[in-house]
Structure 1
Amino acid sequence: MKIRWLEYFIAVAEERHFGRAAERLGIAQPPLSRQIKQIEDELGVLLFNRGRSQVTLTQAGEKLLERGQQITAMLEEAQLEARRIGQGAEGRLRIGFVGSSTYGVLPNILKSYRRHHPGVALGLFPMNNAGLRSALIRREIDVAIARPKLDDAEIVSRQLVEERLVVALSDTHPLAQKRSLRLRDLRDEVTILYPERPRPSFADHVLELFRADGGEPRERIFAMDVQTAISLVSVEVGGAIVPESVGSAERKGICSVALDNPEATTAVSVNTRIDDQSVHVKQFVDIALKVSRRPL
């Protein structure tokens, strides 16, 4: 049965009058009567008892009315949901992010997005840059928060913030009381780098900065991510070069020292597929750019 036929039937069944039903539908009565007869012929049942003074439903008509009202209600709900999703008021958004971004601008972006779009379900997935790039291209996530950015012809990258790098040390380290250091001052110290794989990564960026300032650290240890690196610092394994937002986060037994190297910076970016024009992604990027321009 066609949806339009169901609407004709429901109008007659609710009005109990062909003339009023035709007026409600905005059509003439004879075509409506013919349409109802066609429905009955197709179903092979009588839906209405047609008396001289009134129209009543048969048992088959009563059941069809019950089910038909449920179907039309579901259709209206589906249309409303589709419209709200299309407008970005409902639906879901999958966000991948590097762990270090949780120390800086990302929490404020998420809070602002949830406040403006409470009906959208957020999926959050921590990954390194290689994982973010792969997941974004394979459409496993919709947005990637990367450091510093994702380089790919299929991806649009927009910088959110740039920040200084600092060295995180245990508060018992001999250099912990210094106001500032250069990377060359750390060449003889154990340096914790992250991640070890896949490469190139943030670890390679740090090593390049060391080379530019006179050479690589003589002893290095690789950690899986920034959280692991900070944990190793706290138990006096060595020092780690981290974004200022990570170094400034309060953690017992750890302090951060500024780096005098002018080029010792990093950035956080929001990355999306170049072909993704969905309203959810656009709204998230807009909010991310606005929030990142405010003071933290």
Structure 2
Amino acid sequence: MELHQLRCFVAVAEELHFGRAATRMHMTQPPLSRQVQLLERGLGIQLLERNNRSVKLTAAGLGFLRDARHLLAFSDQAAEGARRLARGEAGNLTLGFTAVSAYQMIPALLTRAAQDLPGLQFTLKEMVSSAQLDALAAHRIDVGFVRQVSDHDTLDAQLISREPLLVALPQQHPLAQKRAIAVRDLDLQPFVMYAPDEGRYFYDCIAGLFAMTGVSPRYVYHVGQTHTVISMVKAGLGVAIVPASATQLHSENLAFRPLSDAQLHAELYRVSRRDNDNPALPAFKRLIQALA
């Protein structure tokens, strides 16, 4: 039983006329009749009653017509699905991302992907940047969103965002009365700092600023994630410097102020392996490029 035989049978069964069915199939009548005969022979049953004046479906033919339509519809869906996979419009991608990028960037990206690439499915893995780079090396993720990239030979990288770092402090803190805060204002202040292992990128950035300016805050806690830093600040345990996207976690008890005498920015890169042959990856990279 071949798909072409099924299509010929369905055409005849719906037209109940071999001439009209042949025209519909863009073929002459003799080969059309031959395909239907081969189908009946293969099934071992009669599907059509024919004479010089009419064509009728047998009871078996009527039941088989329903199933033949389903088979043809499924084959068309399978073919289109394969074409969409080949074009990168369908498939699966595993994404790694930092916690901060999940506040705004990742939801916006997935919303756009649902609109422009509805056939793509995503597996999401929240990881720090170093863990993402390890996962890329081990082929455990397809795309990462990381703070820094050093291996440009193996990895394809694209800068997708650059955001300022802001001072986060309790709303009732005296420094919250200022529109902008100087780095020296943070000297000896209780300070919630990123951990040098889990929050390495922000730790190096902030610690480097303090080293260059000779400012010495009083570190009260070292934590790995921005949402934990914000929780500590909200509780009044200290002030902190965080990326601007942390304002998405804003509450009435928090204030965010820019630095008046320093320009600190956090960069975010989209990275993937150059040898990744997932057909969905090029379309997804183009989507990211459009958003960036």
After TM superposition, is the score higher than 0.5?
Answer: yes
Shift of 1:83: 5.2
Q: How many residues align?
A: 287
Equivalent in the alignment of 2:51: 51
Shift of 1:64: 1.8
Could you tell me which runs of 5 or more consecutive residues in structure 1 were left unpaired when the two chains were aligned.
290-296
Equivalent in the alignment of 1:163: 163
Q: 1:169, 1:239 within 8 Å by CA — same for their partners in 2?
A: yes
**1:51-93, CA deviations, whole angstroms, 9 ceiling, x for partnerless residues?**
2322323333222212101111223344455556666776666
Structure 2 counterpart of 1:45, which letter?
Answer: I
Identity of aligned residues (%): 32
Mean Cα deviation higher: 171-180 or 51-60: 171-180
Question: Of residues 282, 288, 291 in structure 1, which corresponds to 2:291?
Answer: 288
Q: Distance in 1 between matches of 2:121 and 2:84?
A: 13
Q: 1:166, 1:247 within 8 Å by CA — same for their partners in 2?
A: no
Q: 2:195, 2:222 within 8 Å by CA — same for their partners in 1?
A: yes
Q: 2:194, 2:203 within 8 Å by CA — same for their partners in 1?
A: yes
Equivalent in the alignment of 2:269: 269
Question: What TM-score do the two structures reach when normalised by structure 2?
Answer: 0.77
Q: 2:199, 2:223 within 8 Å by CA — same for their partners in 1?
A: no
Equivalent in the alignment of 2:226: 226
Note if 1:181 corresponds to 2:182. Answer: yes
Q: Distance in 2 between matches of 1:144 and 1:261?
A: 33
Equivalent in the alignment of 2:15: 15
Shift of 1:223: 1.9
Q: Distance in 1 between matches of 2:123 and 2:44?
A: 50
Equivalent in the alignment of 1:75: 75
> Residue 199 and residue 100 in structure 1: after superposition, are their counterparts in 2 closer, same or farther (change >3 A)?
closer
Mean Cα deviation higher: 26-35 or 230-239: 26-35
**1:155-206, CA deviations, whole angstroms, 9 ceiling, x for partnerless residues?**
3222233233222222344544454222x65453333233564474432332
Shift of 1:150: 4.2
Three-state SS of the structure 2 residue aligned to 1:45 is: coil
What does residue range 245-256 of structure 1 map to in structure 2 within 5 Å?
Answer: 245-246=245-246, 250-256=250-256
Q: Distance in 2 between matches of 1:244 and 1:84?
A: 38
Q: Distance in 1 between matches of 2:164 and 2:71?
A: 59
Q: Distance in 2 between matches of 1:7 and 1:115?
A: 34
Q: 1:194, 1:225 within 8 Å by CA — same for their partners in 2?
A: yes
Equivalent in the alignment of 2:6: 6
Q: Distance in 2 between matches of 1:53 and 1:103?
A: 72
Structure 2 counterpart of 1:181, which letter?
Answer: A
Question: What TM-score do the two structures reach when normalised by structure 1?
Answer: 0.76
Three-state SS of the structure 1 residue aligned to 2:236 is: coil
Q: Distance in 2 between matches of 1:112 and 1:122?
A: 13
**1:253-287, CA deviations, whole angstroms, 9 ceiling, x for partnerless residues?**
22234335545322233334433553540342133
Q: Distance in 1 between matches of 2:222 and 2:169?
A: 16
Q: 1:95, 1:124 within 8 Å by CA — same for their partners in 2?
A: yes
Shift of 1:136: 5.0
Structure 1 counterpart of 2:267, which letter?
Answer: A
What does residue range 105-124 of structure 1 map to in structure 2 within 5 Å?
Answer: 109=109
Equivalent in the alignment of 1:293: none
Note if 1:35 corresponds to 2:35. Answer: yes
Q: 1:143, 1:281 within 8 Å by CA — same for their partners in 2?
A: no
Q: 2:95, 2:124 within 8 Å by CA — same for their partners in 1?
A: yes
C-alpha RMSD of matched pairs (Å):
3.6
Q: 2:12, 2:21 within 8 Å by CA — same for their partners in 1?
A: yes
> Residue 58 and residue 118 in structure 1: after superposition, are their counterparts in 2 closer, same or farther (change >3 A)?
closer
Q: Distance in 1 between matches of 2:39 and 2:111?
A: 54
Q: Distance in 1 between matches of 2:104 and 2:65?
A: 58
Q: 2:193, 2:219 within 8 Å by CA — same for their partners in 1?
A: no
Shift of 1:240: 1.6
Structure 2 counterpart of 1:17, which letter?
Answer: H
Could you tell me which runs of 5 or more consecutive residues in structure 2 were left unpaired when the two chains were aligned.
none
Structure 2 counterpart of 1:285, which letter?
Answer: I
> Residue 60 and residue 216 in structure 1: after superposition, are their counterparts in 2 closer, same or farther (change >3 A)?
farther
Mean Cα deviation higher: 210-219 or 236-245: 210-219
